[in-house]
Structure 1
Amino acid sequence: MTGISPSNPPQSPVHEAAEAATNTAPVEVDTRPVNDSDSTLSSEISTYTASLTSSVLNYPTEFGRQYHAYNADSYNFPNDEAERERLDLTHLLITKGIGNRLFLAPVDLNRSARVLDIGTGTGIWAICVGEEYPSAEIIGNDLSAIQPTWVPPNVKFEVDDVEQPWVHDKFDYIFSRYMSTSILDWPKLVENVFEHLRPSGWAEFQDFDLLYYSEDGSITDDHHLLKWMKLFIDTARTKLNREPCPGPRLEGWIRHAGFTNVVHRKFRLPLGSWPKDPQLKDIGMCNIAQLLEGLEAFSLKIFCGVLGMPMDEVLVMLAQIRQELYARKYHALFDL
């Protein structure tokens, strides 16, 4: 994840809640006994997601899911209610992962700042920022109008493709998050962000390296989760020409665009309740909940529509992944 500015304002402080995710020491495994049954993990996730729900605020149908209509080839994942719920879970995953913060850039939004949220999705980030900073003007754009109707008066949403020519005036702060597998030309996007910032403005990019790994060797190429993710990454790159793991490359694109005062940070996001640290355990539960909710959303159009795999074969693969996750076979992470 990278935050940058064309000027040189003071750096944002490091918050204690994010230290567990950024600490380079291996994540300690919680060795207390757990019940490995499917129903136990399902119950844990159900309880977890139910507690989160209270704290947050004519499309084509393929493979039993609803997808974008506007520039449909630009985004290969659903926009239906199930996917919106998963996107809100992902919002919580990322905000928890960076220390229970909406952003890290040291930008002052208490004044009348203009803010652009690229690929706003359900609009949850824009709404939260609009509520916290009522004097700021927040614009969120996305390919689908799936955002709520009732939003703070300083927040508005637009249906737009961020890779098309920009018509906006300049902004004080431009925020981009979770655009993995969505962008054809990342360098051009970063250049557009640079060109549409006011002097002393800030931009912040929060994105993933989706390849799962373990620090103790517990996940291997023999596991279905890693096989699935490697196939997903390869298909996105070779068939869609879209980068599924932009996180590690952001700093290079950003420096090349001309930004100064570049700050690059990496946060570890565990998958499941295996960490001993309570904050990382909470992040891990949020992560596994959004993954289990999103397995079909991530897979059907990519594997069936692009690769031509039979749906039955894909569903069997996803069932094998679920079985591994319920059995808690590994201590997997990926990076933000």
Structure 2
Amino acid sequence: MASPLATHEAGPASSPPAAPAVAAATPQAEGPIEVEPESTDEADSSYGDQVTTFTASLTSSLVNYPIEHGRQYHAYRAGSYPLPNDEPELERLDMTHQLMLAGLNGRLYLAPVDMEKVQSILDVGTGTGIWAIEMGDRFPNAEVLGNDLSAIQPHWIPPNVKFEIDDVESPWVYSKPFDFIFSRYMAGSILNWPAFVQNVHDNLAPGGWAEFQDYDGEWYSGDGSLTASHATRTWMNGLIEAGNKLGRDPQPGGKLEGWARAAGFANVAHRRFKFPIGPWARDPHLKRVGLWNITQVLEGLEAFSLRLYCDVLGWKEDEVVVLLANVRNELKSGKIHAHVELHVVYGQKE
């Protein structure tokens, strides 16, 4: 998303800043729209300059990132995603990508997609674009499109990869369906999950596949080492409470299969993976996964928490800093043997 709720690369969060005042819409009269008289100045006879000016203005509005709680956040549909989009967060997102690869044994996806036949791929909430870029490298004959609320993707990308700024909860207006649609750690980012999953289904070509990878937002401890008295438990409970207050489900993982079936997907499969938080597992593979996981968690504590705790739960910033210091100390102690569950659900459009 990655984060305890999810990272994302596309998703929600605090109370959005007040929108600029907008004049009331002018009622449209009946009949045809009048055409502005053509200018006699040859230099003004095309739309080129107007389009260029408008594009520059629009681009500025998309990347004029606000600064809150000492972190930078996205500008487009401000407030719809709680995590920052600054350099430290981009590094954490790429780190989380490596966590996912480690946890899934190096696989970018699990769906039984025949990539020799796939021509178009959509990466929903692409974040830094790292998944889309790797898919573009591995499958040069497929066109890969990644969308996100933030224009944070790199400029040097494979020729078959493109990125766009979009809100996945706006109407989908793609001109043709996709062969494969991928969505990863969108927990805490979506207002209407059933509608989102339905959109994914409806924008697939017949026979196409979709895959959802997401967390259930809870941390578990099989040996009882994570208790209600720990600051870590208080912290996790607060993140879940804030996500629910926003109406953006912070625990979608276990519900993905039901949403996929309700949307009409066939051949639905649901797999669960335990990701330790810390290198405490005996198994070498899980130990490596745990090391990746605790590294990205420690890196992202402030990113996960500041907007949700301050703007949604009403905490003071210094109170959040104290809580996170205690969480950091507990996690670094190695005494908490917690894990989070990743749910991978994929299905096919008939």
Moved more, 108-117 or 261-270: 108-117
Q: What code does the residue aligned with 1:181 have?
A: G
SS in 2 for 1:267: strand
Q: What code does the residue aligned with 1:210 have?
A: G
For residue 248 of structure 1, the aligned residue among 234, 254, 264 is 254
Alpha-carbon displacement from aligned partner over 1:41-63 (angstroms, at most 9, x marks no partner):
xxxxxxxxxxxxxxxxx200000
- 1:114 matches 2:126: no
Give the distance between the partners of 1:257 and 1:110, measured in 2 at CA. Answer: 27
Q: What code does the residue aligned with 1:134 have?
A: P
Runs of 4+ in 1 over 3 A off after TM superposition: none
Provide the residue aligned with 1:174 in structure 2. Answer: 181
Provide the residue aligned with 2:85 in structure 1. Answer: 79
8 Å Cα contact 2:132-2:146 kept in structure 1: yes
SS in 2 for 1:199: strand
SS in 1 for 2:79: helix
- 1:199 matches 2:206: yes
Give the distance between the partners of 2:318 and 2:258, measured in 1 at CA. Answer: 41
The Cα shift of 1:235 comes to 1.4
- Number of residue pairs matched by the alignment: 278
- 1:276 matches 2:282: yes
Summarize the alignment of residues 1-336 of structure 1 with structure 2, pairs less than 5 Å apart.
58-168=64-174, 169-237=176-244, 239-336=245-342
Provide the residue aligned with 2:34 in structure 1. Answer: none
TM-score (norm 1): 0.82
Alpha-carbon displacement from aligned partner over 1:238-284 (angstroms, at most 9, x marks no partner):
x2100111100001111111111100000000011111111101100
Higher relative contact order (CA 8 A, sep 6+): 1
- State which structure, 1 or 2, has the greater radius of gyration over its C-alpha atoms: 2
SS in 1 for 2:272: coil
Instruction: Say if 1:202 and 1:112 are closer, same or farther in 2 by CA, change over 3 A.
Output: closer
SS in 2 for 1:265: strand
The Cα shift of 1:110 comes to 2.9
Provide the residue aligned with 1:26 in structure 2. Answer: none
Q: Which runs of 5+ in 2 are unaligned?
A: 1-63, 343-350
Moved more, 105-114 or 116-125: 105-114
Give the distance between the partners of 1:197 and 1:254, measured in 2 at CA. Answer: 13
SS in 2 for 1:330: coil
The Cα shift of 1:111 comes to 3.5
Q: What code does the residue aligned with 1:103 have?
A: Y
% of aligned pairs identical? 59
Moved more, 142-151 or 101-110: 101-110
Give the distance between the partners of 2:148 and 2:116, measured in 1 at CA. Answer: 25
Give the distance between the partners of 2:185 and 2:261, measured in 1 at CA. Answer: 20
